Amino acid sequence: QQPVQSPQAVILREGEDAVINCSSSKALYSVHWYRQKHGEAPVFLMILLKGGEQKGHEKISASFNEKKQQSSLYLTASQLSYSGTYFCGATPRSGGSNYKLTFGKGTLLTVNP
């Protein structure tokens, strides 16, 4: 089951904030966030493993609401380098050999000067 991301696209001016949401109809055992620049590989940002967990990476942070099966990525004081497509990914179980990641359709973030 593919996670649902929203919005599909966001346009910001440098310094503005954005929130990207990811939800699933199935239980989320872990949520990953990646950023991909055009023609490049996805780059891992962070992983959230349990409900209520929040993490931060510079001015990018994320939360995981296990009850609602939702995760949100927060980008504050955006920089030009934040431009790219953001993917959330969900895994079906907590580990073992079946740690397959299913990606959402992505959110295209454009930060303008």
Partner 1 sequence: AAGVIQSPRHLIKEKRETATLKCYPIPRHDTVYWYQQGPGQDPQFLISFYEKMQSDKGSIPDRFSAQQFSDYHSELNMSSLELGDSALYFCASISLTGAMEGYTFGSGTRLTVV
Return residues touching partner 1 (CB under 8 A).
2, 30, 32, 34, 39-47, 49, 87, 94-106
Count of residues in the chain: 113
Nearest distance, CB of residue 60 and partner 1, angstroms: 14
- 57 with 76: CB under 8 angstroms? no
Nearest distance, CB of residue 15 and partner 1, angstroms: 28
d(CA 43, CA 59) in angstroms, rounded, equals 16
Q: Is 67 helix (H, G, I), strand (E, B) or coil?
A: coil
d(CA 62, CA 87) in angstroms, rounded, equals 13
Nearest distance, CB of residue 4 and partner 1, angstroms: 12
Is the CB of 84 or the CB of 106 nearer to partner 1? 106
Is the CB of 76 or the CB of 85 nearer to partner 1? 85
